[in-house]
């Protein structure tokens, strides 16, 4: 049974994620369903926009369905994960490059793979329950699904802060950081959806929007910048003041629990993408890491500690951020010559 509801309604192509009990986590089949719909609608006359939403109140999409990746990876099957990521990233690129407006409604949790579906749209709607984050370093991955591009484009050094600490953004924060565009209270979503489907006019989103809630991140930005401008993790950690004001008071402890290798590579990728730009460039650099994350990285151990055993005690390949050889970073971020990412 499909876990995406795909249909044409008026002048809109509609995609609804339908796994609310699993926080609408993306399966491989859901990724392929979304891509197929985008391919059908790209040149379809009479369809003026695409609208993506999700069932349930708790989440738009809290990430990818990583249990299957863990199970196959532990069994020695590394091809499944690589295939999932290749297909997912190709879909992410098609969303970001889609020639018609794409409107997304991001209630509750939008994290990881959910950012890839929800935050490359042209019109990204958040509400009072929205919580957005890129928490991948906590499980041994790097911000992917094009998230490195969003982080690279965030103002100041907020991208480094968000990518390394996995800080959760409110609706106001997400708009300030460039992960969302418009604040519309949840009670107004049904009427806005009906207008979008009936008219095919994406400018209805801006007309329905209300002033965004205050962003705490915007107020913290001046304090975050000097600390997260360091070239290395060691420099960043060393720049954190003691005692530290909010939000830096938790940054050090949060980062101390994350995979040192993933953080070092995430920092390198965010900085690289900031210089080169573009969704395909971002996805290519991300895939270099994720394709190796099971065999040479901390991904399987991160999933074990956080999801499977839930002991909260991952045994990372590097004990701290201080002992990561440059060669290890280069080995995880070098170009892929076999099983490459293709768009």
Map out the domains of the chain as residue ranges: 1-343
CA-closest candidate to residue 167, choices 248, 266, 61: 248
pTM: predicted TM-score of the whole model, two decimal places = 0.97
> 180-229, pLDDT tens digit by residue?
999 999 999 999 999 999 999 999 999 999 999 999 999 999 999 999 99
Angle at Cα 245 formed by Cα 244 and Cα 251, nearest 5°? Answer: 60
Backbone φ and ψ for 9, nearest 5 degrees, come out as -130, 110
- pLDDT interval class at 277 (50, 70, 90): confident
**Going edge to edge, which strands form the sheet with 123-126?**
4-9, 12-17, 49-54, 102-106, 123-126, 182-183
Q: Which residues pair with 316 in a beta bridge?
A: none
The whole-number pLDDT of residue 128 equals 98
- pLDDT interval class at 65 (50, 70, 90): confident
Instruction: Sort residue 312 into left (φ over 0), alpha (ψ -120 to 50) or beta.
Output: left
For the domain 1-343, what is the CATH superfamily, name and number?
2-enoyl-CoA Hydratase; Chain A, domain 1 (3.90.226.10)
Three-state SS at 91: helix
Three-state SS at 101: coil
What lies within 8 Å, CB to CB, of 222 at 6+ separation is none
Half-sphere exposure (Cβ direction) of 23: Cα atoms closer than 13 Å: 16
Mean pLDDT of the chain: 95
Decide if 264 contacts 331 (C-beta within 8 A): no
CA-closest candidate to residue 150, choices 299, 278, 305, 342: 278
Which H or E run includes 285?
helix 279-290
């Amino acid at each position: 049974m499909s876990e995406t509801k795909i249909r044409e309604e008026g002048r809109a192509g509609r995609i609804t994620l339908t796994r609310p009990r699993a926080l609408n986590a993306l399966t491989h089949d859901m990724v392929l369903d979304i891509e197929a719909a985008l391919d059908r609608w790209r040149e379809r006359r009479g369809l003026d926009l695409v609208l993506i939403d999700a069932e349930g109140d708790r989440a738009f999409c809290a990430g990818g369905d990583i249990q299957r990746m863990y199970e196959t990876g532990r069994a020695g099957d590394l091809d499944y994960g690589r295939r999932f990521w290749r297909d997912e990233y190709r879909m992410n690129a098609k969303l970001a490059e889609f020639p018609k407006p794409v409107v997304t409604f991001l209630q509750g949790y939008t994290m990881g793979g959910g950012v890839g579906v929800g935050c490359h749209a042209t019109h990204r709607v958040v509400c009072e329950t929205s919580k957005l984050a890129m928490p991948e370093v906590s499980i041994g991955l790097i911000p992917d699904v094009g998230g490195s591009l969003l982080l690279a484009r965030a103002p100041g050094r907020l991208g480094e802060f968000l990518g390394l600490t996995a800080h959760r953004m409110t609706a106001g924060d997400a708009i300030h950081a460039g992960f969302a565009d418009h604040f519309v209270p949840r009670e107004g979503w049904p009427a806005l959806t009906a207008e979008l489907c009936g008219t095919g006019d994406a400018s209805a989103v801006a007309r329905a929007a209300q002033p965004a809630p205050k962003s705490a991140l915007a107020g913290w930005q001046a304090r975050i910048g000097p600390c997260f401008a360091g070239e290395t993790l060691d420099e960043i950690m060393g720049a954190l003041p003691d005692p530290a004001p909010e939000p830096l008071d938790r940054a050090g402890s949060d980062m101390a629990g994350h995979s040192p290798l993933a953080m070092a590579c995430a920092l390198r990728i965010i900085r690289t993408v900031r210089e080169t730009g573009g969704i395909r460039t971002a996805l290519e650099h991300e895939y270099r890491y994720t394709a190796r994350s099971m065999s040479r990285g901390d991904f399987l151990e991160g999933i074990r500690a956080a999801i499977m055993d839930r002991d909260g005690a991952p045994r990372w390949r590097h004990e701290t951020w201080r002992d990561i050889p440059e060669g290890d970073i280069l080995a995880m971020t070098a170009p892929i010559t076999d099983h490459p990412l293709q768009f």
